[in-house]
């Protein structure tokens, strides 16, 4: 009986909360927030017509692309392959949510951070790259070349930054299970109250935000899509339902990565961990702060050239993340 309940709960978690359905709704709402805020910084209206304040516009865009437009019938690539990799990317994002303390079925064990990096770092990035290359085009390949170059530095920077709070919680705060995402999310706030651990935490937070910016191809790292310069870069051949799938994958990546920062760096529901309503409101508030920071960064810069983009990620994300990790090791060795 218990096994049956566990299986049903797992299926519910994978498909409803925090799985596909919630992923879709939260991704679309995040897209609305980014689009609206980005438009307001440019004195435009942004999404306005569908729903109050245009909040339903991303849903309408998604459904129109999926239900009304037709898929390309492409001679030089495989549309089916692009579909498969788009879906695998979404599946990997869903799987990584099981390690955060929002899932009804939560997985926590020693060193589960490795599994987290495997699903969120390897599978999502590989799926995106293979989805792009499934539809060949000179502009796409140029965009993929730029995207893969960015990932070479952005992924290590993000996961080095992620390891900092995990390391400090395990070795300074001595929480168990060690090197666990879930344990870190529940106790990370304590690191901000200690001046010795607050410095590496600050560096790691900055590094994670900049690397998210580059992983999501937001300005100034919108080099892989480089509108006008490369037509639409990696997205050149995407249209109709396939474009809807890619937009969903991109927005879901934005949602999950921002949620990771909310939990692993900002402490999730803290200080209202014991109050469901206030806890959820706190998570939403912190999530919106992360999303707003990303959008403000996006609207503050013009597009870099690829080598400028890579050196910026190395200077402001990878090196701070490494310094934060070294500081964490030093702090842990003295406590």
Nearer to other proteins, 51 or 101 (CB): 101
* Cβ pair 276, 282 in contact under 8 A: no
Distance CA 320, CA 314 (A): 9
Asked if residue 92 binds other proteins (CB under 8 A), the reply is: yes
* Cβ pair 182, 175 in contact under 8 A: no
Nearest to 92 by CA among 58, 66, 62, 128: 128
Among residues 1, 42, 75, 302, the one that binds other proteins under rule CB under 8 A: 75
| Size of site (CB under 8 A) for other proteins | 77
* Cβ pair 140, 234 in contact under 8 A: yes
Least Å distance between CB 134 and other proteins? 12
Nearer to other proteins, 50 or 83 (CB): 83
The interface with other proteins within residues 11-40 (CB under 8 A) comprises 11, 13-15, 19-20
Least Å distance between CB 88 and other proteins? 5
Provide the Cα torsion 231, 216, 25, 248; round to 10°. 40
Nearer to other proteins, 54 or 309 (CB): 309
Nearer to other proteins, 145 or 194 (CB): 145
Q: What is the CA radius of gyration of the chain?
A: 20
Nearer to other proteins, 152 or 198 (CB): 152
Give the interface segment with other proteins, choosing from 36-44, 109-117, 193-201, 283-291 (CB under 8 A). 109-117
The interface with other proteins within residues 246-305 (CB under 8 A) comprises none
Asked if residue 90 binds other proteins (CB under 8 A), the reply is: yes
Asked if residue 309 binds other proteins (CB under 8 A), the reply is: yes
The interface with other proteins within residues 117-146 (CB under 8 A) comprises 118-119, 123, 135-139, 141-142, 144-146
How many C-alpha atoms does 282 have within 13 Å on its Cβ side? Answer: 15
Nearest to 83 by CA among 123, 118, 24, 130: 130
Among residues 22, 39, 51, 83, the one that binds other proteins under rule CB under 8 A: 83
For 226, the token pair is 């480089």
Distance CA 239, CA 137 (A): 14
Least Å distance between CB 63 and other proteins? 9
- Location of structure tokens 């508030």: 285
């Amino acid at each position: 009986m218990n096994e049956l309940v566990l299986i049903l709960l797992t299926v519910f978690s994978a498909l409803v909360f925090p799985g596909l359905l919630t992923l879709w709704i939260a991704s679309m709402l995040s897209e609305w927030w980014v689009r609206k805020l980005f438009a307001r910084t440019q004195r435009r209206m942004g999404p306005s017509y569908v729903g109050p304040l245009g909040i339903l516009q991303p849903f309408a865009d998604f459904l129109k692309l999926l239900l009304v437009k037709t898929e390309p019938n492409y001679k030089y690539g495989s549309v089916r392959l692009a579909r498969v990799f788009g879906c695998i990317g979404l599946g990997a994002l869903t799987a990584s949510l099981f390690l955060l303390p929002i899932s009804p079925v939560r997985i926590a064990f020693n060193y589960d951070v490795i599994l987290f990096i495997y699903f969120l770092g390897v599978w999502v990035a590989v799926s995106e790259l293979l989805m792009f290359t499934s539809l060949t085009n000179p502009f796409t390949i140029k965009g993929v070349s730029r995207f893969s170059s960015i990932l070479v530095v952005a992924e290590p920077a993000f996961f080095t930054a992620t390891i900092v709070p995990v390391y400090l919680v395990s070795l300074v705060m001595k929480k168990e299970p060690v090197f666990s995402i879930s344990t870190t999310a529940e106790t990370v706030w304590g690191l901000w109250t200690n001046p010795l651990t607050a410095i590496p935490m600050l560096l790691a937070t900055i590094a994670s935000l900049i690397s998210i910016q580059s992983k999501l191809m937001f300005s100034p790292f919108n080099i892989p899509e480089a509108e006008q310069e490369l037509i639409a870069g990696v997205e050149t051949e995407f249209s109709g339902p396939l474009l809807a799938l890619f937009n969903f994958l991109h927005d879901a990546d934005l949602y999950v990565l921002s949620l990771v920062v909310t939990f692993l760096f900002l402490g999730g529901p803290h200080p209202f961990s014991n109050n469901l309503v206030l806890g959820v409101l706190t998570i939403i508030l912190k999530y919106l702060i992360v999303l707003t920071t990303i959008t403000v960064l996006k609207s503050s810069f013009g597009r870099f050239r690829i080598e400028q983009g890579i050196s910026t990620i190395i200077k402001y994300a990878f090196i701070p993340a490494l310094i934060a990790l070294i500081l964490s090791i030093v702090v842990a060795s003295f406590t």
